[in-house]
Structure 1
Amino acid sequence: MKKAWWKEAVVYQIYPRSFMDSNGDGIGDLNGITEKLDYLKELGIDVIWLSPVYQSPNDDNGYDISDYQAIMTEFGTMEDYDRMLARAHELGIKIMMDLVVNHTSDEHAWFVESRKSVDNPYRDFYIWRKGKEDGKEPNNWGSCFSGSAWKYDEQTDMYFLHLFSKKQPDLNWDNPKVRDHVFDMMNWWCEKGIDGFRMDVISLISKPEGLPDGIPGENGYADSGCANGPHVHEYLQEMNRKVLSKYDLITVGEAAGVTLEEAKKYANADGSELNMVFQFEHVSGSEHEKTHYGKWDGHKMPLPEWKANLSKWQTGLSHEAWNSLYLSNHDQPRSVSRYGNDSEEYRERSAKLLATCLHMMQGTPYVYQGEELGMCNAYFDNLEDYRDIESINAYHELTEQCGVSHEEMMGYLKRISRDNARTPMQWDDSKNAGFTTGTPWLKVNSNYPEVNAKAQVNDPDSVFSYYKKLIRLRHENEIIVYGDYELLEAESEETFIYKRTYENEHLMVLCNFTDHEVSVTDAVMGQIPDGAEKLIANYADDMGQTLRPYEAKVYRY
């Protein structure tokens, strides 16, 4: 297998609004990130994925960009950015920018021009269509943030497409001028010295020919059928030729609706498109449980289904492409609340279990801010405490149009809302968790006096110290990066056990996903020779064949 630095790296995602506030306005900023780079150096990560810091009206927390070459005023200045980049590089940490080019803000200069008239030079930078004769939208596509994907614009008596918020019009990638402008902007950032791009919803940039009606429930991604469109690989190969291949970058594409076969094209071993993709199957609900409201009332995958899914990607991409490894990000609830057990008794143990299970797989691991502390869902009781446009829109749609009760909907939000991941980083046990001296833009999780970085950094038994060890082990052991993967005991509803093999070396990874003791089978234990080295474990002692609640351990032999 071809080796590469980005395969051996560990990435840490920063959601800037919630990471660290340096000026007391309640909003995280670039200088706050610079202040905390030594903390990330201590953790041992190699790359920061920086969620958008570009100029934005903030309809979707920075994913609606009005100027790709300016910094959001709330986050600071370009000088602040340059200082952060320089300090990160001094510490040996690379910076991967979030690239949001499926859509812009409706306040971007291109769109301001585009909506002026049908013959404006920027008109075809976006996707405009006449309504149907009956006065309805051009097709039946839905927005991912509820409602129609089309917005009527009186100025020219036409509709524009927005797969997300009404303030996020989709760019027309079929227009070569759009692609040239985007590539010029990317080159500008690369010349500034950044180290890579995480590409937001990049699988949606090529729309189906003729924009036909979607089949609800079958076309996927808001029923638009836009995922993995007819020219997406052609456009990414052009991006690779004109930008990515000129620099030594890490690239990952957020690829909603991607299949294994499509992923092999996006992240192919010949390097003609991207290094890897984010797929969503393992963080989606069970395919076998009926849902009425998509992710909101989705059921957690049973463990055998979850293992089968992760294993499909491990073996399916092996030697042909490369995996990204993640359980958490700014769009997902907290992993310890979702896949582990966030009770006082088991929070730390299950946070370490999840980290072990994920980081011992083949692929590049992503740590989402606070995950290394075992941060949990916020469980807000009041709708007023939520800030996320997706959550708020869904609340109104499901309670006002679908008959879902307030109590039931609040339960959905507590379980799955994106704001669970966006609560401020918990630095210490002082007011507002040390995140800000002002009023935080989003409430701090109430458990911050117990769960915070200050309490963990110097504690050898903390979740932080465990992550630190996992990251160091990946840097020191090629088998963790490059070894082949084999799932064992696939049908077990209690354990997740897999084996890694590289040259003449093996790892056995044993994880108990329950709150009770489980006995590992003789068939598995028989493969671990006497004298095998215990590489890492979340219990100090070893009970051999017995796995205690949420126990994880890794043997090397």
Structure 2
Amino acid sequence: MEWWNKRVFYQIYPRSFCDANNDGMGDIQGIISKLPYLKELGIGAIWLSPVTASSDYDNGYDVSDYCDINPKFGTMDDFKALLKEADKLDIKIVMDLIINHTSDQHRWFIESKNPESPYHNYYVWKEPRLVKGKKLPPNNWDSLFLGSAWKYCEENGLYYLHLFTENQPDLNYNNPEVIEEVKKILKFWLDMGVAGFRCDVINCIYKTSYEDAKKRRIKTGKEFYLSQKGCHDILKELNRDILKPYNAFTVGETMDVSLEEAKDFIQDELTLVFPFEHHTGVDCWFQIPVLKRKYKPFRIIKILKKWQTKMPWTPLFFENHDQARSVSRFGDEGKYYKESVKMLATVLLTQKGTPFIYQGEEIGLTNTDFKSMDEIDDIATKNIYGTLRRLKFGKKRAFKMTMNYARDHARTPIPWDDSENGGFCTVKPWLRLNEKYKEINVKKNLSEPDSCFNYYKKLIALRNEEEALQLGDIEFADLGKDIFAYYRKKDDKTFFIVSNMSGKVQKIREEVRGLPILFNYRNFNPQQKILRPFESVITRI
């Protein structure tokens, strides 16, 4: 087995993690200062959200220089120091890789505006469509951040493609020179010592055709850019020429992939792919986050079982920088807050696969009670709100609907203690803190034996010690519709994990077998044949 089969990952969103120089924004030195904290938690690898040079229209996901560090976060020397200090603690670093698009401030794009430039074909430039003398976009594709996927450039009279914001022009992977540039980027960071890459929207990189597409509620055009054969060919080439020789780990953000498509992506292409079905299919309609529907635990259980059964190995996650906080979506912020945080931790860390914890998840951070759009930073959230207003939704309703999605729920600064600004900084932070920071913070979690952090710590330690919980087979048990129950088995070791994923008392069809070794209430009675709201237990059989 490989190192990534056994380790627990922790995603760091640098601008919100730890601010060492007190300028209101997190930085690399801040990350270095908290490595012992991550080691205490039991973390073996870090997924580092973008630290490369950026125009920061989309918080680092618009790269202006692939081989330099964003000065807001520090210097290249700081990054090298991070690699060195992490290595001392046996923590591997995986970088975010954003190669579907660049910033519109990248040198390549600036030069590409000139049709005679060798960089012109690095991007997708197209002539306008003329309709009754009016210049229109080349096709009807949507941006994933809403609106047209095309932006008109006055300088050359052409449109360029941007599947995301207009400040993020898509690279042209029909050009072999672009692929060679990507190989240089991969080699640059691997030579420095990173262990691999989380590959942003990687199944969007290749566009097969630029014709009009079937009109959809969202993602018009996706049949020409999602998971195309050309994408698989490129990933195979990158893996063959660079990634495999370095034994690099890769995990792909792959939108809308089916199980069968996910299997294709791990055949000599990527190491793993993130499944998103348990996020898009359980608490919203038509995979549109603002169209909220009541969360039903059995839906997520069904999806998790499917991916556990059909995939050989999968990344496990409930949170990342693009998702609302899991306890607010799938748990309870009230009476059963702590129990539901711990139940979700149990499910996350005991399934088959590689767990990814997102910063703040381990202390039970909830969604933030934003009061108005003035408090929102995220460009995608602003676009959604603007679209709802244009569709004649009132301000209050549009705001409420938008907050169902708001990515800034996950991006508020980490509260390290209960002092001003949660100990993150003493100046105004780049984004407001969660209003609960005096009750939910790292210092308080570290000091309380029954805290969310200490439960995570025990759970990770158990997983790190027991190969059955890392590498063992998984076998499901049917104890009830809203009960997620399964065995993990390897050699002569067997563990039984049972979680009530609902906020109601649930009768179970049989007693929980085995010796209880970790549970999220103060006590556990296996003979009762009921589980309290969000109750979870691990037994050894």
Alignment TM-score, normalising by the size of structure 2? 0.96
Question: Which segments of 5 or more consecutive residues in structure 2 lack a partner in the other structure?
Answer: none
* AA at the equivalent of 2:490: Y
Match of 2:325 among 334, 337, 345: 334
1:66 maps to which residue?
A: 64
Match of 2:103 among 97, 105, 110: 105
2:265 maps to which residue?
A: 266
Write out per-residue CA displacement over residues 293-315 of structure 1, whole angstroms, 9 at most, x where no aligned residue: 92211325522221111111111
TM-fit CA distance, 1:61: 0.4
Give secondary structure in 1 for the equivalent of 2:320. Answer: coil
1:431 maps to which residue?
A: 420
8 Å contact from structure 1 (residues 285, 300) kept in 2: no
Question: C-alpha separation between the residues in 2 aligned to 1:190 and 1:397?
Answer: 41
Give secondary structure in 2 for the equivalent of 1:310. Answer: helix
TM-fit CA distance, 1:222: 4.8
Question: C-alpha separation between the residues in 1 aligned to 2:216 and 2:339?
Answer: 38
Write out per-residue CA displacement over residues 460-494 of structure 1, whole angstroms, 9 at most, x where no aligned residue: 211101111111111111111222223333861x3
Write out per-residue CA displacement over residues 8-57 of structure 1, whole angstroms, 9 at most, x where no aligned residue: 11000000010011112111111111111111111110011000001111
8 Å contact from structure 1 (residues 201, 256) kept in 2: yes
TM-fit CA distance, 1:258: 1.1
Match of 2:438 among 430, 441, 449: 449
How many pairs are equivalent?
A: 535
- Residue 405, structure 1, aligned to residue 390, structure 2: no
Write out per-residue CA displacement over residues 372-420 of structure 1, whole angstroms, 9 at most, x where no aligned residue: 00000002011100000001111111112x1222112222233321000
Write out per-residue CA displacement over residues 258-303 of structure 1, whole angstroms, 9 at most, x where no aligned residue: 11111112123xxx2111011211011449x755x92211325522
Give secondary structure in 1 for the equivalent of 2:159. Answer: strand
* AA at the equivalent of 2:276: F
Question: C-alpha separation between the residues in 1 aligned to 2:230 and 2:315?
Answer: 24
* AA at the equivalent of 1:368: Y
Q: How does 1:462-473 map to 2 (within 5 A)?
A: 462-473=451-462
Match of 1:325 among 307, 316, 329: 316
1:312 maps to which residue?
A: 306
* AA at the equivalent of 1:458: S
8 Å contact from structure 1 (residues 304, 490) kept in 2: no
Question: C-alpha separation between the residues in 2 aligned to 1:259 and 1:440?
Answer: 40
Question: C-alpha separation between the residues in 2 aligned to 1:51 and 1:467?
Answer: 22
Question: C-alpha separation between the residues in 1 aligned to 2:480 and 2:447?
Answer: 40
Question: C-alpha separation between the residues in 2 aligned to 1:77 and 1:150?
Answer: 34
* AA at the equivalent of 2:483: T
Q: How does 1:246-261 map to 2 (within 5 A)?
A: 246-261=245-260
Match of 2:27 among 15, 26, 29: 29
1:149 maps to which residue?
A: 149
Distance 1:290 1:546, change over 3 A: closer
* AA at the equivalent of 2:243: L
Question: C-alpha separation between the residues in 1 aligned to 2:479 and 2:167?
Answer: 45
8 Å contact from structure 1 (residues 304, 491) kept in 2: no
418-427 or 465-474, which deviates more: 465-474
Question: C-alpha separation between the residues in 1 aligned to 2:96 and 2:103?
Answer: 15
TM-fit CA distance, 1:234: 0.8
TM-fit CA distance, 1:170: 0.3
Give secondary structure in 1 for the equivalent of 2:198. Answer: strand
8 Å contact from structure 1 (residues 332, 416) kept in 2: yes
Question: C-alpha separation between the residues in 2 aligned to 1:483 and 1:217?
Answer: 42
Match of 2:488 among 500, 512, 515: 500
1:355 maps to which residue?
A: 345
- Residue 179, structure 1, aligned to residue 176, structure 2: no
Give secondary structure in 2 for the equivalent of 1:242. Answer: helix
TM-fit CA distance, 1:162: 0.2
* AA at the equivalent of 1:472: A
Question: C-alpha separation between the residues in 2 aligned to 1:417 and 1:223?
Answer: 24
Write out per-residue CA displacement over residues 208-235 of structure 1, whole angstroms, 9 at most, x where no aligned residue: 2x222222338x6454321101211111
TM-fit CA distance, 1:242: 1.6
8 Å contact from structure 2 (residues 104, 110) kept in 1: yes
Question: C-alpha separation between the residues in 2 aligned to 1:97 and 1:556?
Answer: 37
Give secondary structure in 2 for the equivalent of 1:416. Answer: coil
Question: C-alpha separation between the residues in 2 aligned to 1:279 and 1:123?
Answer: 35
Question: C-alpha separation between the residues in 1 aligned to 2:387 and 2:505?
Answer: 43
Question: C-alpha separation between the residues in 2 aligned to 1:137 and 1:490?
Answer: 55
Give secondary structure in 2 for the equivalent of 1:297. Answer: strand
8 Å contact from structure 1 (residues 285, 299) kept in 2: no
TM-fit CA distance, 1:514: 2.8
Give secondary structure in 2 for the equivalent of 1:496. Answer: strand
**Identical-residue share of aligned pairs (%):** 42
8 Å contact from structure 2 (residues 381, 405) kept in 1: no
Give secondary structure in 2 for the equivalent of 1:55. Answer: strand
Alignment TM-score, normalising by the size of structure 1? 0.93
Give secondary structure in 1 for the equivalent of 2:79. Answer: helix
1:552 maps to which residue?
A: 536
8 Å contact from structure 1 (residues 378, 414) kept in 2: no
Question: C-alpha separation between the residues in 2 aligned to 1:516 and 1:263?
Answer: 34
Q: CA RMSD in A?
A: 1.7
- Residue 518, structure 1, aligned to residue 509, structure 2: no
8 Å contact from structure 1 (residues 16, 30) kept in 2: yes
Question: C-alpha separation between the residues in 1 aligned to 2:213 and 2:362?
Answer: 41
* AA at the equivalent of 1:310: L
8 Å contact from structure 2 (residues 331, 337) kept in 1: yes
Match of 2:291 among 289, 292, 297: 297
* AA at the equivalent of 1:365: P
Give secondary structure in 1 for the equivalent of 2:495. Answer: strand
8 Å contact from structure 2 (residues 28, 73) kept in 1: yes
Distance 1:78 1:222, change over 3 A: farther
